Structure 1
């Protein structure tokens, strides 16, 4: 009789070591968001280097490593692409500004924190690109409206937060707004000048001077601490007050 053949037993699959989590598969939405992010980063880089007039969608697609069809799928027009790129970068600046304004509530020098935030924004590529968009919008109302809307929506919340910080020092809303507007106008003007006549040493010197001026003014205007004020009636003096001369009746 022929010998019985032993059936082959399939080898068991190698076991993965315990505690090793399987890498989650990326969903279509995740891949789409990643592609969108690469396009926005590339678009802002081109805006920074060439301005709105020099931006072309083929160059953006090439830098992002996507096809032109993929770019058009996410952003059908150049204006939509530029608006989304601005919102993307201004959103980051918004989060940074709000975080710094909130931390200023617990700092001993809100004037210095305010200058730090305004300098970070008005000396950034974000502001330079926004300014270029506003200038280019002089002949393109749709572009101008887009740029104004982005700057308004993503910078005003930071300014409102700073206004609240200044008011908490005991200043009136009107005075707080004036001080904030003075600070923003000063730093914004220096930021614009820096675009064609950069002088970092001079900028730092002027900003330090304004920090001293603003800090001194805020300290002077703050109401006296309640802890320093007497509570209840003061103790009578041991020395009687000197008699005051009688007032003459007013002449008729």
Structure 2
């Protein structure tokens, strides 16, 4: 029996078939990947240099792409900075919620809340957000966007930590207050670094706060602690 030539599988056809198994990214996926690449580069530069020395002209080189590609997605400095902070704050929110779900004892949780808050509020990106909001030269619309981004990112974090404390046996009303006070304390200390940065003193203050919360929780009636 003679095999027909058109039934033979050539190496070229086999190669095409193997390549065909890899799904090509859609235009939307490619666009999102490019935007993320730019935002990561911008976030890295802001972290290393601060807002005052941040130059959008350097972002394209950091991202490994053309200046034109960057300007296509973010034509102005304001649009790039706002998008970068939104991206960074969203990533921080994801990490915070994961941390909240990973611990379950009240003492561990208080320490975890503090450490998580310190990572966010003591970050260069949060300081950039504060710089923009307080800057008299910044457009009012940009300031409002930054404030809304911060609120949108932090509210789910507060909820996650409150729920974690509640799940560990702390009454919901107390849990919400403890989280709010803890975050306010950390945020205040972060702002203090603008004129007085003393990490060792901050560690001592946070340690005192943890002990105060422990004593406070232990002083609550057993019924209140377990409900």
Q: TM-score, normalised by structure 1?
A: 0.70
Greater relative contact order (Cα < 8 A, sep 6+): 2
1:214 alignment counterpart: 213
Give me the whole-angstrom Cα distance separating, in 1, the residues matched to 2:106 and 2:139.
Answer: 46
2:185 alignment counterpart: 186
Shift of 1:177: 3.6
Give me the whole-angstrom Cα distance separating, in 1, the residues matched to 2:130 and 2:142.
Answer: 12
Give me the whole-angstrom Cα distance separating, in 1, the residues matched to 2:145 and 2:221.
Answer: 40
Q: Mark the structure with the bigger radius of gyration.
A: 1
Shift of 1:157: 1.0
Give me the whole-angstrom Cα distance separating, in 2, the residues matched to 1:53 and 1:112.
Answer: 33
Alignment of 1:60-209 (within 5 A): 60-104=59-103, 106-109=104-107, 110-136=109-135, 139-168=138-167, 169-171=169-171, 173=173, 175-209=174-208
The structure whose residues are more often helix, as a share, is 2
Give me the whole-angstrom Cα distance separating, in 1, the residues matched to 2:24 and 2:225.
Answer: 61
Count of aligned positions: 214
Q: Which whole-Å deviations, capped at 9, do the CAs of 1:84-117 have from their partners, x for residues lacking one?
A: 111111111101111122233x235222222222
Structure 2 CA distance for partners of 1:222 and 1:180, relative to 1, 3 Å: farther
Q: Which whole-Å deviations, capped at 9, do the CAs of 1:44-92 have from their partners, x for residues lacking one?
A: 2333344445433322222222222211211233222111111111111
Shift of 1:39: 0.9
Give me the whole-angstrom Cα distance separating, in 2, the residues matched to 1:107 and 1:137.
Answer: 45
CA RMSD in angstroms comes to 3.2
Question: Is the 1:137–1:143 contact (alpha carbons within 8 Å) kept by the matching residues of 2?
Answer: no
